[in-house]
Structure 1
C-alpha cells in the first residue's frame, strides 16, 4: 500500500536517498589492487620545500613537524605493501558543514580496513576535549555514504588554543589510546591541525582534510579547491538560474542575490560563470581597483537604465556576502566609526540611535560625513550599534543587498526618474551547505579520505590530504600544513594562520568573467544549469572556475 511505502521513506529513506547510497564513487586507480579492492598507498617527498613568506617564524613555532617532513610536498606513486597495522584513529568535523564530509569518513574506513580501528568524535573539537568517541562500523558507512550534512558526527566551532586545552587533548588521546587524529575543516581548522600535530608529536599523528564551501582553502596546482564548494555552487546556480528564468517571464523585477562567502568571492564567481547574470560584483576586484561605493551604485543604476531602454526591465545582480568589507571608502568609514564609538563609549551608551546618527555626522570629516549621510537611515543605525569584545561591528549582519537596492533606486531617480525599478532581495547560504554531494564532491571526498588514511598508515603527521590533476585520473598528494601558514595580525596580535585564498583578478576564471560581463549586462544571455546530476550528461562536471584556473581542456572530471 502507498501509505506503508510512505512510512518507509521516513528517517532518510526517500527514493533518492536509498538510491544515492548505492551510487558507485570513482576512485583513483592507485588505490585499487588487481581485484579492484581498496589498498593504501605510500608517500615520498618531492620537489623543493613549500615555504610561505614567514618560513622562519613558522619553522621556529613548528620545530618538530618541520624537521620531520622538511616542509616538502608528498606524492604517492605506489601501493603500500606493508602498512602499519593495529592503529586507532579518530575523525572529527570542525566548523560549518559542507557536502561530502560523510564520504571522507567512508574513505577513511575503507582504507584503514578491519585491522585498524576508526573512531568518530561527536560534536567537533568540543567533543574531542570531552572525549566523546564511538566506533565507526561498516553499517554506519553504508548508511551515510553519499549523503549530505555533518549529522553523523556533528560539528562545532571551538578553537583549541589555550595551554589547558592542548593538555586536555593530549590526555584524551592517551586515555583512548589514539595513534592518529583526522581534522576535517577549513583554513582555521587546518591551522589548528598543524598546532595539534606539533603539540602531540610524536605520539599522535594529525592529518587535515580541506573543507569549506567558500572555496578559500586552496593551494594552487596542488589543491585546486576544497570540498563542498562544487555542491554548494551547483545548488546556488540552480536557484539563481530559476530566478533568471523568471525575470523575462514576469518582465518587471530586478533580483539582488547575496551568496555565502564572507572573505572570498569564489562562490559568487562560480555561480556567475554557471548562470551569466546581468551584474556580478567581485569583492577582490572592488578592493584591487579601490572602487568607492558611489561608483558601484552609479554603475548599477546605469546598467538598469540602459537595459530598460531596450525593454529589459529586469535582471539579476550577484553579490558576495563579504562585499561590504572590501569597499575602500566604506571600510575606512567603519574604522573611523569603530574608533569614534570606542573613544566616546560612555557618552554614547545612553543615546538613542537617532541621536547617535546626529553625533556621528558632526564628528566625521567632510568626505566621510557625506558618505555616512548618503546611506539609508537603517544602515546608518546599524553602523552605530554596539561593538563586539574586540571593538568591531559585526558587518556580516549588514544587509548589503538591501543597501545596494535602496542606493541604486535613489540614483536612478536622479538620473532617469521614469525608469521602472521593482526589486526583490535574496540571501542564499544555508541552502547550499548540506545537500547530497555532487558526484564531483562525492568522489573528491572519498578519495581525500583514502589519502588521509594512507598518510596514517604511512606514519605521516602535519599534512593535509590533497588531490590534483582532476581531469586525468587524479594525482594523490599531501601538503605540509606548515607550508601554508603565515603570520597575520588578528585582534591586535600576531597569529600563525593558513592564509585564505581569495579570488585573483589575474586568474583565468576572473578574466573570463571580466571579458564577458558587458555582453551579459547588455542582453539576456543567461543560462539555467538546472539541478545537479548524479547520473546523466552533466554528472561529471567540475566547477567552471577550477577548470579555467587549472588550464583543463574540458569541464569533465575523471578519477
Structure 2
C-alpha cells in the first residue's frame, strides 16, 4: 500500500480508552427505561427489547477469559470520520475476550448481510486501517433492513458463520433498523444479538446518553479550516461576500458548530427560521441589512453560512414545494400539459396554477432556481430539495434587494459574491484525536455489550468534555430514543432526530454574539486538524459539547 507520511505515523497512534475499559469490566444496571414519546405503541412493537435498563461500565475484578465470540459488522449510510476505529475497537475488544474470536465485515452496507457478501477482518487488514478516514475497509450502503425476508437471509449467514452478534454502525434510521432486527431475532430466540453505534456528521443523533455522534467533530473541524481560510481571503481581498452552504439537511448542528469555531458575519439556523415562521423575504432582508451595515463601515466583504436543509424549514417554501409536487406529479394531466409547453412559457404557467401566496413566492425566485424547482424531480416525482443551490438563491436575492436599496439611496457599497458547498470534503477525513479515541471506545464498548449477552443496545460513551480516561462507557436501549412518526403515509417507530435546541447553551451563546460578529470582523482561523502536540490543541471536543457541559 502507498501511504502518506502522516498516514504512516497515524497508524502508530494508540487511541485512548476510558479507565473502565482498560481491565476487567463490571456492568452496573440502572433504572428501566421508557421511550421519549409514544411508550405504549413502542412497547407493543418491541415487547422483547423495550424497557431494558441503562448500563454503565465500571472497573471490575480480574476474571477468567470467556469463550470466543464471532461478530459481524456493518457500515450503514453516509461516511463519517472514525468508522474504521469503531471496527478496530470491536476487533481488539473481542480479541481480548478470547484470542480465537473472529470479526467479519459485510460488504457494501446492510445489503452485504442480505446478499451474504462478507470478508473476515484479520489483524493484518485491521492494522492497515487504524486511525484512517473513510469506510473503504468494507464499504457502506443505504439498503434498509425493514422486511422479515431480509432478516431471515441475514440469519442464514449469521448461522453459517456462527455469529454471536451483529454491530450496525449508522445514523438514526440505521439504528432504528438495528433495533427492529434485534427485536425480531430476540422474538425468534435465534441467539444473535444486535448492537448499534451512533454515526453521522450531521450531529442529529444525540441525547443525554449519546452526547454526540461520531464524525461530527472531525467534519466540523475540516469545514471550519476551510471557512477560516475563506475568511482570511475575504479579509485580505476585501471585495467578496462568500456564501457557504454546509451539509446537514435535517438539522443545523454543523452550521452552528462551525459558526462557534470561526465567528463569520452571518449564520442561518434552520430551526430558528421554522420557530419564528420566517419568510424568504425576511431572511433576505436580514442578510441584506448586514451587508449594507458592513458597507457603511467600508467593509464590502463578509462570510455567510447556510445550512443545506434551510429551504424545507421556511414555511412558505415548504408549502410551495408541496404544491409543486402535486401540480407536477408524474402521470397527471397537469404534468403532461407542462411538458408540452415551450420552456419560455413554463414558469408563467406554473405560477398561474399555484395558490396566490405560493405564486407570489414562486415569482420572487431567481429564474434559475424556479426552473430547478420544476425540473429536478426524484423517482417519486418530488422536488429534489437537496439539489437546490440555496446559497445562490440567497446570494441572487440579496443582490436584487441591495439594488433596490441603492435606488432608494440607502446602499452605496459594492456587493460581489462567491459560492461554496462544503459536504463531501469532511465525510472521509482522517479522524481527529477526539474522534479516533471516541470511535475506538465505542467499538470496544460494543464488544463488552456483546460479551455480556446484550441486544437492542447502542454503545454509549459519555462525559466527553473530560479527559478520555474519565469517559463513562456503557449501553443505552435503542427503544429509549424512539417515537412514532409518519413515514411514507404510515406511522412507524423511529429514533427521534435531535434538532438544534433553541433553549440550549450553544444556540444562546451564538445569539448573544452574532450581532457583534455581523458588524465587525472578528474571524477566527482554526487552521488544519492537529494530531501531535499539546492536548489543548489536539484533543479538544466540539464547541457545542463544551457549551452544553459548561
TM-score by length of 2: 0.94
What is the distance in 2 between the residues matched to 1:271 and 1:441? Answer: 17
C-alpha change, 1:408 and 1:386, in structure 2 (3 Å) is closer
Greater CA deviation, 95-104 or 488-497?
488-497
The residue aligned with 1:442 is 436
Matched, 1:14 2:4: yes
CA deviation vs aligned residue, 1:253-279 (integer Å, no higher than 9, x gap): 000000111111000000000000000
Are 2:45 and 1:61 equivalent residues in the alignment? yes
d(CA) in 2 for partners of 1:374, 1:122: 47
1:310 corresponds to which residue? Answer: 297
Counterpart CA distance in 2 for 1:471 and 1:512 is 18
Q: How does 1:363-374 map to 2 (within 5 A)?
A: 363-374=353-364
Does 2:238 align with 1:271? no
Contact 1:42 1:455 in 2 (8 A): no
Matching residue of 1:165: 150
Q: CA deviation at 1:415?
A: 0.8
The answer to which of 121-130 and 513-522 deviates more is 121-130
| 1:528 and 2:518 aligned | no
Distance 1:182 1:302, change over 3 A: same
Q: 2:19·2:59 contact (CA, 8 Å) conserved in 1?
A: no
Q: Distance in 2 between matches of 1:209 and 1:438?
A: 18
Q: Which residues in structure 2 correspond to 1:63-78 (within 5 Å)?
A: 63-66=47-50, 70-78=51-59
Q: Which residue of 178, 193, 206 maps to 1:205?
A: 193
Q: What secondary structure is seen at the aligned counterpart in 2 of 1:384?
A: helix
CA contact (8 A) 2:145 2:177 kept: yes
SS in 2 for 1:226: coil
- Matched residues in 1 for 2:371 and 2:343: separation? 6
| Match of residue 216, structure 1, among 197, 204, 223 | 204
What's 1:121 paired with?
106
State the Cα distance separating 1:48 from its structure 2 match. 4.2
Matches of 1:260 and 1:304, distance apart in 2: 24
Alpha-carbon distance, 1:391 to partner: 4.3
Question: 1:187-198 maps to which residues of 2 (within 5 A)?
Answer: 187-198=172-183
SS of 2:234's equivalent in the other structure is helix
Structure 2 residue runs of 5 or longer lacking an equivalent are none
SS in 2 for 1:421: coil
Q: Secondary structure at the match of 2:49?
A: helix
- Please give the alpha-carbon distance, in whole angstroms, between the structure 1 residues aligned to 2:381 and 2:102: 46
Q: Does 1:486 align with 2:480?
A: no
Number of equivalences: 531
- What per-residue deviation string (whole Å, max 9, x for no partner) do you get for residues 229-257 of structure 1? 00000000000000001111001000000
Which residue in 1 is equivalent to 2:137? Answer: 152
CA shift at 1:72, angstroms? Answer: 2.2
Partner of 1:136: 121
Q: Distance in 1 between matches of 2:495 and 2:382?
A: 22
Q: In 2, Cα distance between the equivalents of 1:83 and 1:457? A: 11
Q: For the Cα contact (< 8 Å) 1:74–1:478, is it kept in 2? A: yes
Q: Distance in 1 between matches of 2:246 and 2:443?
A: 29
Q: Which residue pairs with 2:86 in the alignment?
A: 104
SS state of the match for residue 178, structure 1? coil
1:350: which partner in 2? 340
In structure 1, the residue matched to 2:426 is 432
CA contact (8 A) 1:353 1:384 kept: no
**1:184-333 alignment, distance < 5 Å:** 184-201=169-186, 202=189, 203-220=191-208, 222-333=209-320
Relative to 1, partners in 2 of residues 1:353 and 1:161: Cα closer, same or farther, differing over 3 Å? farther
Mapped pair 1:28 → 2:18: yes
Distance in 2 (alpha carbons) for counterparts of 1:272 and 1:150? 28
Asked whether the 8 Å contact 2:20–2:472 carries over to 1, the reply is no
Provide the rounded CA distance (Å) in 2 between the counterparts of 1:451 and 1:78.
13
Distance 1:394 1:145 in 2: 37
Q: CA deviation at 1:299?
A: 0.8
| Pairing 1:360-509 to 2, within 5 Å after superposition | 360-385=350-375, 387-417=377-407, 418-472=412-466, 473-509=470-506
Residue 349 of structure 1 and its aligned partner are, at CA, apart by: 3.6
Task: Give the unaligned 5+ runs of structure 1.
Answer: 1-10, 34-38, 552-559
